[in-house]
Amino acid sequence: MAEPRGALDEVLVIELGEWVSAPFATRLMADMGADVVKIERAGRGDPARDVPPFATEGDRDTGALYCYLNAGKRSVTMDVDDTAGQRILLRMLESADVFVTDLPARALRARGLDPAAVLPRCPHLIFASVTPYGLSGPYADLPACDLTACALGGQMHPTGMPNREPLRPAGFQADYLAGLHAFGATVAALYDAKICEVGGLVEIAAVEAMAASAHSRGQASAAQAAGRSGETPATGEVPVPDLARVVDGPGGETLRFPGPPLRMSVTPLEPGRPPRLGEHTEAVLVDDFGMPPSELSRLREAGVL
């Protein structure tokens, strides 16, 4: 019997993202078989690595949030604030199918990594941007977080007690929803690119994703929002499939966390092992992209990688 294949086998995805939104989008792509290369800050990595609990105490490669969002990826350390790092990343994008980033517009422009700079050089590429407020408009360059997207997107309006301030939803709801939209839109863009042989920009704003979700809740939710009665729905068991998946951790630990929120019969989704920081830098840059080992050593000594 043939080995099960992933729906995104042979798709190369470059991720330049941190925390939740972009990593969640690419985690779903990795589950579908895509080769996801995660670019992380040299020497530090994704700040999500610092969020406890840890499978192995003191080992920041084993944090629950980081492992859940980055299972099945390869990690490459790179300083994209350095011009040498920017040149390496652009060379990688020339061979990639998808670029997913959560950097805001101003940060992309400052590094020469905005769509206007990248897409003419890589016309085949799907450039997926997932940010709080989008790449244009009056809010594009404002500081933001999951809380502000939840508030501006309307999700906090129906929460809390009467005559009191609204409450934020638990967790990273705006970031997860934005990541899920980015995943779906990017896969659709890949299908279009296969037909038209040209890439393009996929733009997701978390505030728009939240507003669309809040609107879909309908009149009942709007009535609750008007009075914020404070009532909570009845609780009980919900008949759902087994959501847990068991995978190996970076150090051989056994990790158990929720699996992908979708199932496919012909091309099943299989979470892989989360990477250690920079674990695949040499394999990706030397073996996959042809960088001379001497150049790799020089860039590591300079702190670029």
Please list the helix, strand and coil fractions of the chain in percent, rounded to the nearest 5, in that order: 40, 15, 50
Give the Cα separation of 260 and 94 in Å (integer).
29
Spatial CB neighbours of 101, under 8 Å, sequence gap ≥ 6: 15, 16, 17, 22, 108, 113, 128, 129, 130
Place of tokens 């609750």: 224
> Hey, which residues are catalytic here?
175
156: its two tokens = 């906090």
Give the Cα separation of 135 and 205 in Å (integer).
8
Mapped onto helix, strand or coil, the DSSP state of residue 64 is: helix
- β-partners of residue 128 are 100, 202
Give 15-33 as a DSSP string: EE--SSHHHHHHHHHHHTT
HEC sequence for 104-141: CHHHHHHCCCCHHHHCCCCCCCEEEEEECCCCCCCCCC
